[in-house]
Chains A and B, each alone.
Chain A
Amino acid sequence: MDEQTRKKNIRRTALIVGAVALAFYFGFIMLGVMRS
């Protein structure tokens, strides 16, 4: 795997994992909004 592809993969994995974290954060706040 060349360096360019590796960097692209690193960026993509980081963005996906970060997006999952944000989804959990806002998802659980939305759960609170809907319950209260």
Chain B
Amino acid sequence: MTTATVDGHAAGHDDHDHGPTKGIKRWLFSTNHKDIGTMYLIFSLVMFFVGGAMAMVIRSELAVPGLQFVHPEFFNSMTTMHALIMVFGAVMPAFVGLANWMIPLMIGAPDMALPRMNNWSFWILPVAFGILLSTLLMPGGGPASGWTMYPPLVLQTGDAFPFLIFSVHLMGISSIMGSINVIVTIINMRAPDMTLLKMPMFVWTWLITAYLLIAVMPVLAGAVTMLLTDQFFGTSFFLAAGGGDPVMFQHIFWFFGHPEVYIMILPAFGVVSEIIPTFARKKLFGHDSMVYAASCIAFLSFIVWAHHMFTVGMPLTGQLFFMFATMLIAVPTGVKIFNWIATMWRGAMTFETPMLFSLAFVFLFTIGGFSGLMLAIQPADVQYHDTYFVVAHFHYVLVPGSVFAIMAGAYYWLPKWTGHMYNEKLGKLHFWMSTIFVNITFFPQHFLGLAGMPRRIPDYSVQFADFNLISSIGAFGFGLSQLIFVFVLLTAWKGAKATDRVWEGSHGLEWTVPSPAPWHTFTTPPKARIADEAFE
């Protein structure tokens, strides 16, 4: 950890010439990392509610057996769009927003290394999702083949198909440009004394995530390019009739898809690793081992992809390899969980909203991890595959995992962004409502899956009725709880004035600048000190 010796106010006030442009131009042409970070975060919140509305359609239809509200084709469209929007429109942009805001502040850089590209990578996103959402109005409806876009099913998509491919390409380009920016910034713009192993964990996890993105987003782009040429240019990459192999698409997709899971969880690990030490008032236990564990998880994420395809059929050695490699991920993940627990051990803990979300993250993400271990066992996976057990598993990883970490990060850094303390009572209410309802929504889905309810269906046998109703009630409760978060954000400027350090136990360069963080910070590099005086 690093503590700046430079006077925090000086760091904020030595800037100089100009503030932001007035009006819409400030946002359209912004090259400022804080403005772009804000835009990413607002965009992701909007997409969170759009994807959430689709989840409400899904849970309304599934509340009771029989077909109630929507046509089955539209239901399939909702599951597909919900996933694409939540993964690429909500979770990933939220973490990019946090990265934009916090990485330059944490490493003592004046901005991201490539600010114009930063602007471009944000503004591509609304275009990409505008195109994707417009497909719902097209003849044949929106894409309905699942977010995995498996051929030959996806090739039966109506007019929406080329728009789906184009929007996925745009999302990929945006992510790749964003990750180039993160890597270049971290490698070249750190404060003079901040060596790699002195970087905060959030910066480290984002560096590793950015490398993952560079390696796998082009793979997704390549896969969908081949889908496009199969559909329109007479190739047969994935068409069995033309000598192609549809299973090859699954291999390529999941070579992207599994690291994608870690792209959505490694920055969450980083956020939680910042918050727990602050509210336990202790140093992060085993900082370096956390870095090695995150790197290890990133490496392993490249060699486990076929565990998504156990039922496709593969040689026994392949099944064994992918099963054991997947189980191996539990080791570095366990290192992280135990390090967070050790950080809290005998700490002077307090339970403000960011800490509550972080604690729930540790506990509930672990449940998602354990069900992941169950799915990794190949003979068992044959039973669980394509059931609601899988839906329960990945929602535990992504909602109380990634989304809770984003919420934790938002509450943690909000006073630094706005200069005011948010409403702690409402924050805690938001936390408790979210935590109770997220479990009511997703825990019964384990039982549904174990009882054999298939995923991606608009109707089901009456034996699954009770748990589905409970799950739907939970989903509506969770959705409504998020309105509290919106209210907290809208009133974030009304709270007490935040101090520069904001939290008693916080440490690091970002807390040395004034609250709210000025438009320009660290225009001259801070003289960072290696020792963290606050904890010695």
Contact = CB atoms under 8 A, between A and B. Distances in A.
Interface string B243-267: 1110010001001000000000000
A13 B184 contact: yes
Interface in A1-26: 6, 9-10, 13-14, 17-18, 20-26
A28 B237 contact: no
Given A20-B214, A32-B226, A36-B237, A10 B248 contact: no
Interface stretch (B13-21, B216-224, B468-476): B216-224
Nearest to A13: B184
A29 B226 contact: yes
Contact of B218 (A13, A22, A31): A22
Contacts of B252: 28, 31-32
Contact of A36 (B176, B217, B235): B235
Given A10-B114, A13-B188, A36-B236, A26 B222 contact: yes
Interface of A: 6, 9-10, 13-14, 17-18, 20-29, 31-33, 35-36
Contact of B184 (A14, A23, A32): A14
Contact of A17 (B184, B222, B242, B243): B184
A12 B221 CA distance: 24
A22 B172 CA distance: 12
Given A17-B184, A20-B215, A23-B218, 5 more contacts: A9-B187, A10-B113, A25-B221, A29-B222, A33-B237
A18 to B, nearest CB: 6
Given A28-B222, A35-B245, A36-B245, A21 B180 contact: yes
A24 B219 contact: yes
B16 to A, nearest CB: 16
A14 B187 CA distance: 10
B225 interface: yes
A9 B188 contact: yes
A6 to B, nearest CB: 6
Given A17-B183, A18-B180, A20-B214, A32 B222 contact: yes
A23 B176 CA distance: 13
A14 to B, nearest CB: 5
Contacts of A29: 222, 225-226
Nearest to B176: A21
A17 B214 contact: yes
Contacts of B113: 10, 14
A24 B214 CA distance: 8
Nearest to B114: A14
A24 B243 contact: no
Interface in B156-204: 176, 179-180, 183-184, 187-189
A10 B257 CA distance: 29
A28 B223 contact: yes
A13 B183 contact: yes
B180 A17 contact: yes
Contacts of A27: 222
14 contacts: A6-B189, A9-B187, A10-B113, A21-B176, A21-B180, A21-B217, A24-B216, A24-B218, A25-B219, A26-B222, A32-B226, A32-B237, A32-B248, A36-B236
